[in-house]
Amino acid sequence: MNWDDTTDETAPERLVGSVADGEDQAVEAALRPKDLGEFIGQEKVREQLDLVLRAARARGATADHVLLSGAPGLGKTTLSMIIAAEMGAPIRITSGPAIQHAGDLAAILSSLQEGEVLFLDEIHRMSRPAEEMLYMAMEDFRVDVIVGKGPGATAIPLELPPFTLVGATTRAGLLPPPLRDRFGFTGHMEFYEPAELERVIHRSANLLDVEIDTAGAAEIAGRSRGTPRIANRLLRRVRDYAQVKADGIIDREIAAAALKVYEVDGRGLDRLDRAVLHALLKLFGGGPVGLSTLAVAVGEERETVEEVAEPFLVREGLLARTPRGRVATPAAWTHLGLTPARAPGQGNGQPDLFGT
């Protein structure tokens, strides 16, 4: 297989990557659940949020600020829209990187209507001064607008109508505690169970007017890395295959054959994931090996290996990050159908990490 042929728009990297782009964004809008009842999985967050919103509605008040944290593609943006819909409120959407100056934030805050939902995506990437302005806005519904510069500058307090801030972050740990503490409710989104992803797939298939049976949905769900965005994307690619190569109906066989074409394996690993594992096992005997060496071996940037391939491999228990480098687990050997050449860690005087 030609390692360079990644220009195709269905390149496997994009197929299982959890970040949305291009075609995704348009389809995602169409597939988004519109209310809490339609939102699949995340039982805990859903139940808790339902209480928060119902109680606020009953009091005729604006809902408390909500922080949603979790990996990309798990439904944070979707939930923020649901919050607005459930409160019958308009929603304003912006993101941390878009707010570089406190003035940008002041402009947004001062134009909010009463009860409006302000969705701040990637809230951990906001600038410091904007963050400090946000503290006050969240707590006192007030901002100080600074007029002038230097010693003559004056702060003019500006009252804000009550609003609900919904912050989303993939990195809750990066939020400064004073910011985190100002949210009345924090929902942590978990990866989805295969059964939940099956429901996501059936729902999406229905909306896309695609025929799929239970086994076909299960096949796709099992390879979706616990992520609805990936499940929807794989479904669309399998639909293409079914249309071109079969009668358009997706069953287990069609799903498996299609995903084979796209090089997504039975566990959801793509070509890059497998290349990393393969290099680690075949070239470095299972490790430990440094990240940079591993990246060179697969012809990728360090960051790509670290941020795109590794998180999933670690989560799947196929790879471990140790102070001495990357190490393959016994499961990695099994997954690639290889027999360990020697036990990992052996021959360097170090205790064996996995007791093999």
Ligand X SMILES: Nc1ncnc2c1ncn2[C@@H]1O[C@H](COP(=O)(O)OP(=O)(O)OP(=O)(O)O)[C@@H](O)[C@H]1O
* Closer residue to ligand X (CB): 40 or 294: 40
Distance of closest approach, residue 84 Cβ to ligand X, in angstroms: 13
Distance of closest approach, residue 330 Cβ to ligand X, in angstroms: 32
Contacted entry of Mg ion, ligand X, none for residue 72, CB cut-off 5 to 8 Å set by kind? ligand X
Q: How far apart are CA 117 and CA 144, in angstroms?
A: 21
Residues that bind ligand X (CB under 6 A): 19-20, 28, 31-33, 39-42, 72-78, 170, 200, 228-229, 232
* Closer residue to Mg ion (CB): 169 or 204: 169
Strand 117-121 versus strand 91-95 pairing type:
parallel
Q: How far apart are CA 192 and CA 330, in angstroms?
A: 25
Contacted entry of Mg ion, ligand X, none for residue 329, CB cut-off 5 to 8 Å set by kind? none
Q: How far apart are CA 63 and CA 48, in angstroms?
A: 13
C-beta nearest to ligand X: residue: 75
Nearest to 271 by CA among 260, 286, 257, 284: 260
Residues that bind Mg ion (CB under 5 A): 77
* Closer residue to ligand X (CB): 81 or 298: 81
Both tokens assigned to 188: 């942590």
Q: How many residues does the chain have?
A: 356
Residues labelled catalytic: 76-77, 121, 170, 229
Distance of closest approach, residue 44 Cβ to ligand X, in angstroms: 13
* Closer residue to Mg ion (CB): 121 or 273: 121
Contacted entry of ligand X, Mg ion, none for residue 87, CB cut-off 5 to 8 Å set by kind? none
Distance of closest approach, residue 70 Cβ to Mg ion, in angstroms: 10
Phi, psi for residue 155 in degrees, rounded to 5: -100, 120
Distance of closest approach, residue 67 Cβ to ligand X, in angstroms: 13
Distance of closest approach, residue 205 Cβ to ligand X, in angstroms: 12
Contacted entry of ligand X, Mg ion, none for residue 20, CB cut-off 5 to 8 Å set by kind? ligand X
Contact yes or no for 262/230 (Cβ under 8 A): no
* Closer residue to Mg ion (CB): 20 or 136: 20
Contacted entry of Mg ion, ligand X, none for residue 17, CB cut-off 5 to 8 Å set by kind? none
Nearest to 264 by CA among 219, 217, 316: 219
- Hey, which residues does 95 pair with through a beta bridge? 121
Neighbours of 291 (CB within 10 A): 15
Nearest to 61 by CA among 112, 114, 137: 114
Q: How far apart are CA 219 and CA 197, in angstroms?
A: 10
Contacted entry of Mg ion, ligand X, none for residue 170, CB cut-off 5 to 8 Å set by kind? ligand X
Q: How far apart are CA 145 and CA 319, in angstroms?
A: 50
Query: Residues near 355 by Cβ (< 8 Å), separated by ≥ 6?
Result: none
Q: How far apart are CA 332 and CA 281, in angstroms?
A: 8
* Closer residue to Mg ion (CB): 83 or 327: 83
